[in-house]
Chains A and B, each alone.
Chain A
Amino acid sequence: MGPDSAPDLDRLVRRCRRGDASAWERLVRHFQALVYSTARRSGLASDDAEDVFQATFVALYRTLDRIEDARALPKWLAVTAARESVRVARLRGRWVQEGDEKGLDETIADEEARADVVATQSLDARRLRQGLASLGGRCEQLLAALYFEELDYKAIHERLGTPVGAIGPTRARCLQKLKVLLAKAGFFTEDEW
């Protein structure tokens, strides 16, 4: 199992309980983007998002002995990070006015309801980027330019030298290759959630 492959979460949690610090580090690294992205998506600045990040992993550490099903970890982390984000945003005077408890409850409920989706999307995004990195070369450059930087065909031609007329078919072939890679990596398997 490589450092970036999907870990067996149950096993990692058991190792953490046995005092294995390297297992904890793998857990943190595996979920760092999920937690940080959740905080940033809530509109927090980077400093506040880091506070949420730390608080979420402290909460996870304190909960390790009580985790019954490690497959629920992505959702648990997303919910915890979302709640903590609401709390921090409130402290900063955003989202919720002082005394507006209903607004706070509703905000938290909304965030929790989205937790499953957020967790799935964040981990999909991580796997996609890993897949793109494995693809490498021109395909990685082309797809990143198209979908992360959202460059138009003319700009892509100027950067990569690909004729404008060839960008569409090349894009399709690259996406097909990426899909095969993702399928091998279990991207389309729902079971692990």
Chain B
Amino acid sequence: MRNPEPNDVERLADWAFSVEAEAPEGIDRAVALQWRRMARAFAQSYESAPQQAVASAVAVFRPTKPTLLARLLPSLSGGVRRTDSEDRVLDFEVPEGTARVRYVAEGDRWRVLAEVPGARQVQHDGGPAEGDVGRFEFVAEGEDATGFTATSAGGDVVFPPLGEIEL
């Protein structure tokens, strides 16, 4: 498949927004169809919902158990520490005190080592994490999979994945 020449681009642009069925001569059909798909997307009705409707839908969510979001401690108080390479150590405020989570880069994966006071169990995307009371460890398939939920007597605490934490 060759890349379209500048003149081809103008022909493709004309064709993509037309009703002609046959792709322009000399242009790969697969490329032409991509152009047409893009052109059609311009014509699709797309209307964002009003903000209050989105807020109401967001508010539908009611965890069955008491659930808190672990709050990252500010970096000035030592909440965020970058170690060598891409490793990170983050401190979070949880009901039983301070949780410390270490994220260790292992290629595309991340090893997550969590010390969460009072936690009996940690669930992540891959299932329950290995560990004992308060100390857990698991390997995440990517940054987006580094989130987990720690269960203690007081309820569940959600630790968001690294990509969603504002450092």
- Residues of chain A having any CB pair with chain B under 8 Å: 1, 8, 11, 14-16, 18-22, 24-25, 28-29, 32-33, 35-37, 40-41, 46, 49-50, 53-54, 57-58, 61, 121-122, 124-129, 143, 147-148, 168-169, 171-173, 175-176, 178-179, 182-183, 187-188
Chain A contact surface mostly:
helix
Chain A residue contacts of B45, Cβ below 8 A? 37, 40-41, 125
Given the known inter-chain contacts A40-B45, A128-B38, please indicate yes or no for A21 contacting B63, CB distance below 8 A. Answer: yes
Instruction: Establish whether residues A50 and B50, one from each chain, have CB atoms under 8 Å apart when the complex forms.
Output: yes
Total chain B interface residues with beta-carbon distance under 8 A: 47
Query: Among A14, A19, A36, A171, which residue has the most Cβ atoms of chain B within 10 A?
Result: A19
| Cβ of B106 under 8 Å from chain A | no
Chain B residue contacts of A126, Cβ below 8 A? 46
A58–B56 CA distance with the chains assembled, in angstroms:
10
Instruction: Establish whether residues B149 and A20, one from each chain, have CB atoms under 8 Å apart when the complex forms.
Output: yes
Contact for B44 among A15, A18, A61, A125, CB less than 8 A: A125
| Cβ of B163 under 8 Å from chain A | yes
Instruction: Establish whether residues B54 and A29, one from each chain, have CB atoms under 8 Å apart when the complex forms.
Output: yes
Query: Among A18, A21, A121, A169, which residue has the most Cβ atoms of chain B within 10 A?
Result: A18
